[in-house]
Chains A and B, each alone.
Chain A
Amino acid sequence: MPILDNLWIIPLLPLLGSAINGLFGGKWTNSVVNYVAVGSTGLSFACALEAVREFSQLTPQQIPFVKQFFTWIAAGTFRAGFDLQVDQLTVVMLLVVTGVGWLIHIYSTGYMAHEGGYYRFFSYLNLFMFFMLILVLAANYSLLFVGWEGVGLCSYLLIGFYFLRKSATDAGKKAFIVNRIGDFGFMLGMFLLFKTFGTLDFVPMFAKAVPMPADAMGQMGTLTVACLLIFVGATGKSAQLPLYVWLPDAMEGPTPVSALIHAATMVTAGVYVVARSHVLFMRAPSAMLVVAIIGCATAIFAATIGLVQTDIKKVLAYSTVSQLGYMFLACGVGAFSAGIFHLMTHAFFKALLFLAAGSVIHAMGGEQDMLKMGGLSKKIKWTYITMLTATLAIAGFPPLAGFFSKDSILLSAFQSENGGHVLYAIGLFTALLTSFYMFRLIFLTFFGKQRYDEHHVHVHESPKSMLVPLMILAVLSLVGGWLAAPAFWGAPDYFAKFLEPVFAQGGGAESAAAESAAHALEMPLAIVAVITATLGLGIAYWLYISRPAKPAELAKSMKGAYTTLFNKYYVDELYAAVVVKPLLWLSTKVLWQTVDVQIIDGAVNGIAHGTTEVGDNVRHAQSGSTRSYAVWVIIGALVIIAIIFWPYLKPAAVGMVR
């Protein structure tokens, strides 16, 4: 097993690529940078495939396969090692990250061809791949956290890639700071886990957790608190309520970055961590409920905002937030494999949507406002076809990928004991909204009247390096869900079956009775879901194709609702008023102008000023006149003599009085 025993090579290849491009790429032509960047990720993908092949030959006893490479930190009983782990969950993540990542690298060579800082872009992108691979391969929370922070760093660097634009650097900072809040929770969670279990390695920790009694619903036991803290980290990284605000702004970055980091891989890290910690979550039902509710609320919240956005990337950003909500909903109702399944299919179709949107923007010469597009379907046919595929997939039309994954999430939500029907209803309504806003995007972009000036915008199809990844992803969006298709004729769902060894440990395996009930429900629920998706498509068609004047009328007649949605529920403004402004006030008035300037600087300056002042006054003693010095010497001498002789004079004086 050459690769499995040398797992470090998978993350190391992109790191090497990043270092080479970062150090020397500035002097090279674009094509050399391409070879390094695409080559290193491609090799990494090949190694991942080989690792998966070797993994499939392992016996069940050898899984999870953990390999210790070196000890990173050792302090007392604490050990954080550079240990990598492969199990079925890792396999899924590994293939998604390297595969989709590689495709996006190829796409970027076309998309970024005319941009400055070409080598810098690929250096960052490769560095991201390295950290993401560390994240998914890590065998303990501390190493996972290294990847976790690293992808956050790369996200920051890439959002602010066009650093001359203030909005881009602001968005980068926002992403970094909001994530910091989540990371704080994550770290506290890690500390609590270490205190409880005495280790941060997954395998021994979960082995210790399995016999532990589950917390009762509503009970804030150690596990519940730890899970909630971990989930706080996940809400930051995966853009859930209330920390989702950074993701829409992150669209300031180049489009391939939005596709890779802010849709397909990094933002799903939170879902991955929750799934990875499922053993703990299964023993903390209150935490599970919180995860489900937050996921569900985020799904519908973001979907409603997505309804009225006009920036093509912003729509996709809110859609991503909404779909991540679905994944958390799945995790929250205990259907971890459904959540990971949606993670995978979402990586395909959302990466495709972003890349296709990038292709549209490329074709329009940088225009992102959908109201200034229209009628593009004939001019950029391949982009149109692939984007339509992705839209059908995300809207949930069979037999595309999104249909199967979303269906299994909704099914699990429906079967959940804790308010499952409400969660299901909200999830279903969100599916309707999803279908609507996605087809709104399609209709506004590719259909209807041409709303741009043909003299200024020369619409052109993108180069092959961009189209080929689009086509591959379109195929994946089409067939990616078929792994779960057998569930419809009563056979086991391959994907869930594959992940079962991972999730069985937590006690998440379904009983036979529940499974047969699920099969009975599968068909009716699927039909309902398809009807919902069609309804969304129909409404979008009616509003944006049949009656193009209607949306404006509607916006006018429901002005309050429309402006609220258009301004994203004023959440940014709310955060600005409640958190940012007081914090700025505190920092400016108290910490800066009082503590720093007046107290700290004041003390330092005060000492200097006092010294000057004293010197200024004492200086007058130095008259420069020799004789005055002499007088002082004499006075001093007399004083000293007086002091020395005083005790001897006294008895005499006393004697004289007598």
Chain B
Amino acid sequence: MVPTHYYLVLSAILFGLGVVAFVFRRNIITIFMSIELMLNAVNLAFVAFSQAWNRLDGQVFVLFVIVVAAAEAAVGLGIIILIQRNRQSLNVERVDLLKL
């Protein structure tokens, strides 16, 4: 049986990759995918804890996260399509109208 902290380290690594990609990538789709990566890193941690403590709460949370992630994907992809239509670009640095 794989010890729990292996999962946690893997989860942390995945989460860190997600963060780094979120900050440094410019393409909105990549950023979006990095968000998914972070969510799933968290999911992994949940499942690991669920197994370690032998309780189902963590897995229930994971189901919720997956549902939210699906909803978020629907909304987020819609936004991305609109950005593409309006700007003919997916570069996040071009989306800065709030700046004065």
Q: Would B96 and A623 count as touching, CB distance under 8 A?
A: yes
Interface of A is mostly: helix
Residue B70 lies at the interface, judged by CB distance under 8 Å to chain A: no
Q: Would A625 and B23 count as touching, CB distance under 8 A?
A: no
Residue A630 lies at the interface, judged by CB distance under 8 Å to chain B: yes
Q: Would B96 and A625 count as touching, CB distance under 8 A?
A: yes
Q: Would B99 and A626 count as touching, CB distance under 8 A?
A: no
Restricting to B14-69, which residues have a CB under 8 Å from any CB of A? 19, 22-24, 31
Residue A655 lies at the interface, judged by CB distance under 8 Å to chain B: no
Q: Would A625 and B19 count as touching, CB distance under 8 A?
A: no
Residues of A contacting B74 with CB < 8 Å? none
Q: Which residue of B lies closest to A637 (CB)?
A: B19
Q: Which residue of A lies closest to B35 (CB)?
A: A630
Residue A76 lies at the interface, judged by CB distance under 8 Å to chain B: no
Q: Would A625 and B100 count as touching, CB distance under 8 A?
A: no
Residues of A contacting B96 with CB < 8 Å? 623-626
Known: A630-B23, A634-B19, A634-B23. A623 touches B99 (CB 8 A): yes
Residues of A contacting B100 with CB < 8 Å? 619, 622, 624
Taking a contact as CB atoms closer than 8 A, the residue among A622, A627, A630 that contacts B98 in the complex is A622
Residue A631 lies at the interface, judged by CB distance under 8 Å to chain B: yes
Most B CB atoms within 10 A — which of A619, A630, A634?
Answer: A630
Chain A: interface residue count, which band? 10 to 19
CB distance from B79 to the nearest CB of A (A): 12
Q: Which residue of A lies closest to B22 (CB)?
A: A630
Chain B: interface residue count, which band? 10 to 19
Residues of B contacting A624 with CB < 8 Å? 96-100
CB distance from B37 to the nearest CB of A (A): 14
Distance, CA A630 to CA B24, complexed state (A): 10
Q: Which residue of A lies closest to B26 (CB)?
A: A627
Q: Would A625 and B22 count as touching, CB distance under 8 A?
A: no
Q: Would A626 and B92 count as touching, CB distance under 8 A?
A: yes
Q: Which residue of B lies closest to A619 (CB)?
A: B100
CB distance from B51 to the nearest CB of A (A): 23
Q: Mark each residue of chain A from 613 to 655: 1 if its CB lies under 8 Å from any CB of chain B, else 0.
A: 0000001001111110011001000000000000000000000
Distance, CA A624 to CA B99, complexed state (A): 4
Q: Which residue of A lies closest to B98 (CB)?
A: A624
Residues of A contacting B97 with CB < 8 Å? 624
CB distance from A441 to the nearest CB of B (A): 80
Residues of A contacting B95 with CB < 8 Å? 626
Restricting to A582-626, which residues have a CB under 8 Å from any CB of B? 619, 622-626
Distance, CA A619 to CA B99, complexed state (A): 9
Q: Would B92 and A627 count as touching, CB distance under 8 A?
A: yes
Distance, CA A630 to CA B34, complexed state (A): 12
Distance, CA A627 to CA B22, complexed state (A): 7
Q: Mark each residue of chain B from 84 to 98: 1 if its CB lies under 8 Å from any CB of chain A, else 0.
A: 000000001101111
Restricting to A355-370, which residues have a CB under 8 Å from any CB of B? none
Q: Would A622 and B23 count as touching, CB distance under 8 A?
A: no
Distance, CA A318 to CA B99, complexed state (A): 78
Residues of B contacting A630 with CB < 8 Å? 22-23
Residues of A contacting B23 with CB < 8 Å? 627, 630-631, 634
Distance, CA A627 to CA B95, complexed state (A): 10
Most B CB atoms within 10 A — which of A619, A625, A626?
Answer: A626
Distance, CA A623 to CA B99, complexed state (A): 5
Q: Which residue of A lies closest to B25 (CB)?
A: A627
Residues of A contacting B24 with CB < 8 Å? 627
Residues of B contacting A622 with CB < 8 Å? 98-100
Residues of B contacting A623 with CB < 8 Å? 96, 99
Distance, CA A626 to CA B22, complexed state (A): 10
Distance, CA A249 to CA B12, complexed state (A): 94
Residues of A contacting B31 with CB < 8 Å? 626
Residues of A contacting B98 with CB < 8 Å? 622, 624
Q: Which 10 A-B pairs have the closest CB atoms?
A: A624-B99, A624-B96, A624-B98, A626-B92, A625-B96, A630-B22, A623-B99, A630-B23, A627-B23, A631-B23
* Inter-chain pairs besides A626-B92, A627-B23, 7 sampled, C-beta below 8 Å: A622-B99, A623-B96, A624-B99, A625-B92, A626-B31, A627-B93, A630-B23
Which positions in A face B, CB cutoff 8 Å?
Answer: 619, 622-627, 630-631, 634
Which positions in B face A, CB cutoff 8 Å?
Answer: 19, 22-24, 31, 92-93, 95-100
**Pairs across A and B, CB under 8 Å, 17 listed:** A622-B99, A622-B100, A623-B96, A623-B99, A624-B97, A624-B100, A625-B96, A626-B92, A626-B95, A626-B96, A627-B23, A627-B24, A627-B92, A627-B93, A630-B23, A634-B19, A634-B23
